[in-house]
Structure 1
Amino acid sequence: MKIFTPYRWLIALAFIASFTISCSDREMEPNPKPADDDDDVENPNIAINEWIQAVMEEVYLWTDTMNDPIAIDSEPESYFDALLVNQDRFSVIYPNYEDLVKLLEGVQKEAGYEIQLAQVSGSNDVYAIITYVKKDSPADQAGLKRNDRFFEINGVQITVGNYSSLLQSIGEAHTLDIRRLNKDSGQFEILGEDPVSLSVVELAENPILLDSVYTIDNKKIGYLVYNFFAPGEELTSEDIRYGVYDRQLEEIFTEFKTKGVEELVLDLRYNGGGYTSSAVHLASLIGQGISEGDLFYYTKYNDLVQAYFQQEYGPEYFNIRFVNKTQNIGNQLASGKLYVLTSSATASSSELIINGLRPYMDVVIIGGTTYGKNVGSITIQDTENEDNEYGLLPIISRSFNKNDESDYTTGFTPDIASDEFANNFNLLQLGDINEIMFSDAIDAIMGTSSGRTSRKSTVQSLKVDNSIRHQFRFGRMIESTPDFN
């Protein structure tokens, strides 16, 4: 798969490249001496760390308050991490640039399922609930389903003390004691006599998990489950470039428009972020009363980068605008509202959608408080040192909407609180109109309490962790704005 490299960052990376190997023209504080400078052979970490230092001094959002470097021959991961300021939860170094790009595009070695961990009441035992299964994955082929659960991985009971290390084993072939709800007995029963064996493959996940149209009391409601922002493999038609996933979004919204969708529910509960190019694409399909060229959001950088682009390209450079989409359904939305399903795993570019569309329409948040990330990154590699395979993903920008709003570092608080696990972690299938969060959205649209949520009960288990927040792509907002016109 290819990453879109937009024109604006071709310029930016060319600017950065002049600093990637040698020191900056401006005066720099000297790095601490190597821990052992008696060796005649230069430690390869030195050249890598000089590159890291130069890049960070030029593009890092908090470059003025960046921490002092540690020893120049330190391990690059440690060197990079030592530079980060306290408020930076997001900047990352990765051992291989190409693998970094794959992970951000949803390509990784896995069995193909996501989970929520819960602690058994009054016990240290932990169990996992499958929240969704990825199409054509080993988990899908094995017949696993949402709401299946397991207590053991490779025959070992999951506990509060071992779940973190034990979950690392699912990156390789593994077995699970899958239990499925027997609707007649109301009990979760072991699926088969033997544990389910799962292989792992390099899976290219499609971020579009589900789309459908519902007719409820003569009202047409569109529903889209979108799990991360990525354009997908590049498709080329004459002079027009598309990403396969963004193209699929256009096809979905064409169907929404054709079927007369009057209200839209956008399910971002599992969406931890991704490429801003796809956020622009999606927002341009949804926004009400928008025109091509209207401001979606704008970015601010550190003083050095801000001044450089201001001088070279003027103030318009920082503005990211909606693009023309004939598939846009905004003006069909009768209430002028967008209903967004959220959780603590809703982050980054998902929050950009909420913040960027708010000046144009009423965005109704249903679910849990979002993660809180209003800053963006770019991927950077060292193109001059073939021995340096590292990829950097530093925070370089902060985003603001049309109304200059950017203060959501503690997340967006829901207008309607909802929790898919409220019925004692018993999950209905996504797209079922009785599924708790979707049901709450339908009730909000209809302006009634339909009784669909009457089966909610007090949660008897405690949430421990979830796999979405451990995805490498979680919390990433990758600056990328290709021209899809």
Structure 2
Amino acid sequence: MLMKISTTYNWLIALVLIASFTISCSDREMEPNPKPIDDDEDDIENPNIAINEWIQAVMDEVYLWTDTMNDPISVDAAPENYFDALLVNQDRFSVIYGNYEELVNLLEGVQKEAGYEIQLFQASNSNDVFGIITYVKQGGPADQAGLKRNDRFYEINGVQMTLSNYTSLLQSRGEPHTLDIRRLNEDSGQFEMLAEDPVSLSTTELVENPIFLDSVYTIDNTKIGYLVYNFFAPGEELESDNIRYGVYDQQLEDIFADFKSKGVQELILDLRYNGGGYTSSAVHLASLVGQGISEGDLFYYTKYNDLVQAYFQQEYGPEYFNIRFVNKTQNIGDQLGSGKVYILTSNNTASSSELIINGLSPYMEVILIGETTYGKNVGSITIQDTENEENDYGLLPIISQSFNKNDNSDYTNGFDPDIESDEFSNNGILLPIGDTNEVMLSAAIAQITGTPAAERSRKAPINMTSVQSSIKNHVRFGRMIESTPEFK
């Protein structure tokens, strides 16, 4: 049974009450800079002090690298600076966010935005930068304005993007803005202005469904299931027959039930834009895909710092660290004729997506098509301060490392593809997601059917140098967010 997601790590409170496993700040010889001496008794204490003391206590308890954590800076420093100063060099992922509730919403796909993702490139022989829209989110302002995948733009709010200003200009996308949209004219082969005036885009609090597309193709008498899944989130919690589940997880089950009823024989998972998310949904997806798995088979296990490891060992025993597959009648693994799952990847593929790759590998052949993944084998939790009403901060520290059934966790440099493919290799032209001629999907279909894909360049054109992907700007990127038990 999947554990219920807890957005506040209640075991932090319980942890400090377990005397035999708790080490106080003084016992750890942690000596933060003292509070500044205030000669005026009427002065109010700097609120940063209480927040930073909370940050220190949390990190001392749960941070994966607590034994090598950096020394604290001044206790009255800005909390963002205090937190960042503690992080070890190898930590690319721990995050502090100004508002806990906003942090949780962002992780679950709720964000104020116009509703489109982009990849930026440097123009040939120039410092100019241009963007290509990679996908548009259903029902958002960009969708309503008619924007499409493959549209290009050079200006935001009338200002040309360059290598020196694109970072600040991208921040404008969180508010109403304009884009000089240019669309491919298939007759001329040129990108032309969509309209004389720039396209105006509003922003709204958009609730993004991680399931972007699902389809079944029949090619050369082979039925191929295709799922585009852009982040891991269970969705709004529902309850039926005393069983709690997320609406997005339920939609996944419905999709795989459809795959099963239609006799899907091969499966393509498109995770090229999936930067991670909740591990509970990763278990859910893996349990629908794995071949020859049974309920209780090991999907992955976790390791923590000595303090947390000892606490969980005492409270729950060694089984706590093992995350197992769950029974899903919609599982299609045993009807995949080749015994393989084909996964489309890019450098945006991270965290819980890599957990899927690593965890399924002992049970079936995982064929990666695309680019080397990002490389993240460590997990986080969301933490808020429930004692201090003036502390709105949310923490997302790294607390664990994951290993598969074969004890493998060696992918900090990412997983290399079995078949290299770059969605921009067709002269930078992006066909619609789900089009069987789209570069990466067609490469997967070619592997399944043995029919070569159409001749295409395997390298990006020389006039395009990748600069940045908007996927990496999301707070949820690179996150593997653990499910946690409830404490009574």
Q: Same fold (TM over 0.5)?
A: yes
User: Does residue 26 of structure 1 match 2:27?
Assistant: yes
Q: Matched residues in 2 for 1:81 and 1:104: separation?
A: 20
Q: In structure 2, what is the equivalent of residue 315 of structure 1?
A: 318
Change (3 A) 1:482 1:142: farther
Letter in 2 for 1:259: K
Which residue, out of 171, 174, 177, partners 2:180? 177
For 1:93 and 1:39, how far apart are their aligned partners in 2?
32
Letter in 2 for 1:203: L
Q: CA shift at 1:451, angstroms?
A: 2.4
8 Å CA contact 1:67–1:82 kept in 2: the answer is yes
Q: Report the secondary structure of 1:311's partner residue.
A: helix
Cα distance change, pair 13–473 in 1 and its aligned pair in 2 (3 A): farther
Distance in structure 2 (CA, Å) of the matches to 1:457 and 1:375: 31
Percent identity, aligned pairs only, is 74
Find out whether 1:195 has 2:198 as its counterpart.
yes
Inter-partner Cα distance in structure 1 for 2:18 and 2:269: 43
Query: CA contact under 8 A between 2:111 and 2:206: conserved in structure 1?
Result: yes
Q: What CA distance in whole angstroms lies between the structure 2 residues aligned with 1:273 and 1:16?
A: 30
Where does structure 1 lack aligned partners over 5 or more consecutive residues?
Answer: none
**Counterpart in 2 of 1:394?**
397
Residue of structure 2 equivalent to 1:121: 124
Q: Does 1:414 align with 2:424?
A: no
1:477 is paired with a residue whose SS is strand
Return the offset for 1:453. Answer: 4.1
User: Which residue does the alignment assign to 1:111?
Assistant: 114
Distance 1:49 1:456 in 2: 48
Partner of 1:326: 329
Against the structure 1 CA distance between its residues 39 and 213, is the aligned structure 2 distance closer, same or farther, given a 3 Å change threshold?
A: farther
Which position in structure 2 is the counterpart of 1:15? 15
Bigger mean CA offset, 376-385 vs 26-35: 26-35
Which whole-Å deviations, capped at 9, do the CAs of 1:44-77 have from their partners, x for residues lacking one?
Answer: 1111111111110010000000111111111111
Contact 2:122 2:163 in 1 (8 A): yes
Tell me, in whole angstroms, the C-alpha distance in 1 between the residues paired with 2:231 and 2:349.
Answer: 9
Question: How far is the alpha carbon of 1:423 from its aligned partner?
Answer: 1.5
1:470 aligns with 2:479: no
SS in 1 for 2:85: helix
Structure 1 residue 424 displacement after superposition: 2.2
Quick check: 1:91–1:395 contact (8 Å CA) kept in 2?
A: yes
- Structure 1 residue 450: deviation in Å? 3.7
Contact 1:277 1:482 survives alignment (8 Å): no
Contact 1:276 1:481 in 2 (8 A): no
Alpha-carbon distance change, 379 to 302 in structure 1, aligned in 2, over 3 angstroms = same
CA distance in structure 2 between the partners assigned to 1:48 and 1:482 by the alignment: 25
SS at 2:187 equivalent? coil
- Structure 1 residues 23 and 99: alpha-carbon distance in aligned structure 2, compared to 1, 3 A threshold: farther
Letter in 1 for 2:406: N
Q: Distance in 2 between matches of 1:371 and 1:413?
A: 10
Q: 1:223 aligns with which of 222, 226, 230?
A: 226
Compute the RMSD of aligned alpha carbons.
Answer: 2.1
CA distance 1:282–1:229, change in 2 (3 Å)? same
**In the aligned structure 1, how far is the partner of 2:33 from the partner of 2:9?**
32
| C-alpha distance in 2 between matches for 1:419 and 1:404 | 31
Q: Structure 1: how far apart are the matches of 2:476 and 2:86?
A: 22
How many Å separate the matches in 1 of 2:152 and 2:456? 23
Q: Which residue of 1 aligns with 2:50?
A: 47
Counterpart-to-counterpart distance in 2, 1:7 and 1:311: 23
Q: Secondary structure at the match of 2:228?
A: strand
**Residue aligning to 1:289:** 292
Q: Which amino acid is 2:54 matched to? A: W
Partner of 2:266: 263
Give the match's secondary structure for 1:64: helix
Instruction: Note if 1:366 corresponds to 2:406.
Output: no
Contact 1:375 1:477 survives alignment (8 Å): yes
1:9/1:287 Cα in 2 relative to 1: closer, same or farther (>3 Å)?
farther
The runs of 5 or more residues in structure 2 that have no matched partner are none
Indicate whether 1:240 and 2:262 are aligned.
no
2:308 is aligned, of 305, 309, 331, to 305
TM-score normalized by the length of structure 2: 0.94
Partner of 1:132: helix, strand, or coil? strand
* Alignment partners' CA distance in 2, 1:354 and 1:289: 16
> Is the contact made by 1:423 and 1:459 (CA closer than 8 Å) also made in structure 2?
no
**Residue pair 1:434, 1:452 contacting (<8 A) in 2 also:** no
